[in-house]
Amino acid sequence: MKKAIFFDVDDTLYDHLIPFRKAIQPYVGQLESFPYEEAYHRMRYYSDKISVELGGAGKMEQSSATDAMKRDRFQFALHEFGIEVDAIQAESIQQAYFDCQFEIELFPDARELIIELQQRGYIVGVLTNGAEAHQWRKIKALDLHKIIALERIFVSGSYGWDKPDIKIFQLINERTETLPEQCTYVGDSWRNDVIGATRAGWNMIWFNHRNLARESNITLQGEVESYEALKYYVL
């Protein structure tokens, strides 16, 4: 029987907090014990929220409102933690964040696990939300295109359906000639990954390396904090 495993990218295959921390550090560095992880999750919340309002990732490279969205998400998130930045400062943060997003590397053991899964006969791929060109720059920065077949790399902006829409998961089933129950998804976002994959009938392993609380009662195949732990569920 075919078995397929697909991975999210941002904060699943690499640490997405690193570019965020670098970008906002000049504005919060004077504050001791600033909650970077909490602020990061609020930024992602606003990013997802505004993206949906603008029409989803497929519109993000075309919309004239995209630049404002990228500034607003930092202003809204930092405001919750008592940090006020104006539009010019938010633009500087966004530019620093953008520049740092391509200075990334895979989590320890991720590359080795992907290769071993394929050697054992698994269909292995990537499913990530985001604008096509932007996400492909990350994919190439991580060298994922060198270890995963290009036809198994899916960027939502290429198709017009963003996770948690089950249509993007159904598209993968169609392209890989698999059934939902043959597929496992590994991702960090409860809203996009856990809800999307389970609604599509896929097995779900929550990559919860930030030790977040579950947001609802959904049956998971597993919950892990590292790739060392993940291999015990999939190998």
Strands (E), the chain: 4-7, 123-128, 153-155, 183-187, 203-207, 222-224
For residue 191, the model assigns a pLDDT of 93
Residue 186: C-alpha distances to residues 52, 68, 102, 192, 217 (Å): 22, 31, 22, 11, 18
As a whole number of angstroms, the longest Cα–Cα distance in the chain is 56
Angle at 52 between CA 85 and CA 36, to 5 degrees: 40
For residue 83, the model assigns a pLDDT of 93
For residue 71, the model assigns a pLDDT of 87
For residue 65, the model assigns a pLDDT of 58
Going residue by residue through the chain, which has 235 residues, state the pLDDT in tens, using 9 for 90 and above.
899 999 999 999 999 999 999 999 999 877 678 999 999 999 989 988 877 777 765 555 555 556 777 889 999 999 999 999 999 999 999 999 989 989 999 999 999 999 999 999 999 999 999 889 999 999 999 999 999 999 999 999 999 899 999 999 999 999 999 999 999 999 999 999 999 999 999 999 999 999 999 999 999 999 999 999 999 999 9
For residue 23, the model assigns a pLDDT of 94
Q: CA dihedral defined by 110, 142, 129, 108, rounded to 10 degrees?
A: 20
For residue 52, the model assigns a pLDDT of 78
For residue 60, the model assigns a pLDDT of 52
For residue 49, the model assigns a pLDDT of 84
Paired with 185 in beta bridges are 6, 204
| pTM beyond 0.85, yes or no | yes
DSSP letter, residue 213: P
Q: Report how far residue 139's alpha carbon sits from residue 105's, in angstroms, rounded to the nearest whole number.
A: 10
- Cα torsion angle, 138, 105, 90, 78, sign: positive
For residue 203, the model assigns a pLDDT of 98
